[in-house]
Amino acid sequence: MTKVVAFNGSPRKDGNTSILIRHILAELEKEGIETETIQLGGMKIHGCTACGKCFENRDRRCVFDDDMVNACIEKMCNADGIILGSPVYFLDVTPEMKALIDRAGFVSFANGHLFRNKVGNAAVAVRRAGASRTADSMLHFLLASEMIVSGLPAIGIGLDAGDVMNDEEGIARAKSLGQTMAQLLNQLNRYPLPAYKPAQSDDRMAKKRKQE
């Protein structure tokens, strides 16, 4: 069964970011797609240290196993689609979302682009400024991971929890995103892309470490 996993980077479990994610997932579920939301915001997650161990081990895991990042990477690997959601924190994503992007991204690169050809998109809750930058941070991760981005992200305006429900355009965009993503996933399920075999593994980090 086709599955989409969403990561809520907001410390507010039931805040505006969560509302946008729920509207996206509701449209996916209407099309028979299984969904799951992982609460990322507010959890103890440390950032990437650029140690390069993922390039040495190539075991689809970050060497630091004292938080939830490896469980998140496994969820991403097993999903057909990925949604990243974050409120704007000082004109960018939350620190928990940034930590996931950096560490999952490195592990993916080290293991032959684990998320290649998965379908992805993003949701942003914003009060005033920083929505574009925040969306870009998440979309750049999806694109760098060689994923398929299903159109523009969902952006909803609101400050207090629930305010985003007053943003009719933002809610409509979230629903549209879910519908478009469902159509794309169902098409890919019917007509899968050919398996990709890289000409060579990405060992730049391992070489760099040896040189140092």
Rg of the Cα atoms in the chain: 17
Tens digits of per-residue pLDDT, 129-176?
999 999 999 999 999 999 999 999 999 999 999 999 999 999 999 999
pLDDT tens, residue by residue, 3-24: 999 999 999 999 999 999 999 9
- What fold does the segment set 3-211 form as a domain? Rossmann fold (3.40.50)
Confidence of residue 207 (pLDDT cuts 50, 70, 90): low
Domain borders along the chain are: 3-211
Q: What is the pLDDT of residues 21-74, one digit of tens each?
A: 999 999 999 999 999 999 999 999 999 999 999 999 999 999 999 999 999 999
Please tell me the predicted confidence (pLDDT) of residue 135: 98
Whether the pTM exceeds 0.85: the reply is yes
66 to 17, 39, 43, 85: CA distances (angstroms): 26, 17, 12, 23
pLDDT confidence of residue 74: 98
Q: What CA–CA distance (Å, rounded) separates 119 from 173?
A: 17
